[in-house]
Amino acid sequence: MNLVTLDDIWAAAADIAPTVLRTPLLAAPWDDGLWLKPESLQPVGSFKLRGATHAVIRLDPDDRDRGVVTHSSGNHGQALAYAARAAGIPCTVVVPEGSPGVKVAQMRALGAEVLLVPPSRRLAEARRIVAATGATLVPPFDDRRIIAGQGTAGAEIVADLPDVDVVLVPVGGGGLASGVATAVKALRPSTAVYGVEPLLAADARDSLAAGRVVTWDVELTFRTCADGLRSNLSELTLAHLRDRLDGIVTVTEEEIRAAAGRLIREARLVVEPSGAVATAARLFRAGELPAGRTAAVVTGGNVDPTVLADLVTTA
């Protein structure tokens, strides 16, 4: 299988530089060995803007006018809508029912056509639209252009913390972890890269153990509050993670919420539950990880106000 390379990531970095924020690396106020990569500061509130922007820029000119379509619980949909609007092309997002209202509203505000479907139907509906309209499918993670774009975050981490010992990255569909691990391992092979996922959506853990994609039904993954991490891996992302990830740890719902609360109160970052899982691993699973200077990717901050209020008061 053709895996993403560091050269792909450098090309993506050049493509997205005019649009995507180069987020800082912030020292965690409570831990002098932890740095936070706040992708929640991106214009659309998540790291997804990196991959989506790169994918839109790399569209075949003959396909641009027919637009783009994707399936997303929210963050990738927002990112693709933002990138499509910047490029002046139409965008349709197929959204699973039960996705956060704040994310759905923002997709519509960015000009996307939003279709709500049962969770198990989202990919099939996206493919139906592609067949009917000729639009280009831009998947959330199962695409080399997406992985290369997300990998730019890993390159930035190494540039800002050259002696980083451990990088912690959330895993849903695996696009971000694939890209970050590719960049970090190419630039600093001694750095350990660990994926982190909710215990209630631990398909990546199972897939890596089995050596093949192990899927979890949506009835299982939709139990986690980390709505951005409910996707299963693809063959492409599993290939990257098997080759480049040092391991994976899982965190509980209580640990995710506690980490989000701490990020909100002490780091002054607006964060959604999915964005807090890497920090949760450092807080509650340090014994399962190597010691040393650690960077945790805070992937997003698109959270409903009622959920945010609850997280602020979570111990």
In the set 73, 99, 178, 207, the catalytic residue is 73
Distance CA 203, CA 215 (A): 6
Q: What is the CA radius of gyration of the chain?
A: 18
How buried is residue 167: exposed, middle or buried, by Cβ count under 10 Å (0-12/13-18/19+)?
Answer: buried
DSSP state of 294: E
CB 107 within 8 A of CB 78: yes
Question: Quick one: 189 exposed, middle or buried, by C-beta within 10 A (0-12, 13-18, 19+)?
Answer: exposed
DSSP label at 173?
S
- DSSP secondary structure, 70-131, as one string: EE-SSHHHHHHHHHHHHHT--EEEEEETT--HHHHHHHHHTT-EEEEE-GGGHHHHHHHHHH
Q: What is the DSSP string of 261-287?
A: HHHHHHS-----GGGGHHHHHHHH-GG
Please give the distance of CA 255 from its chain centroid, rounded to a whole number: 19
Amino acid at 278: A
The residue type of 30 is: W
Active site residue 73: yes
Q: Residue 103's beta-bridge partner residues?
A: none
Q: Which of 37, 48, 103, 185 is the catalytic position?
A: 48
Compute the distance between CA of residue 194 and CA of residue 289 in angstroms, rounded to an integer: 8
What positions carry a catalytic annotation? 48, 73
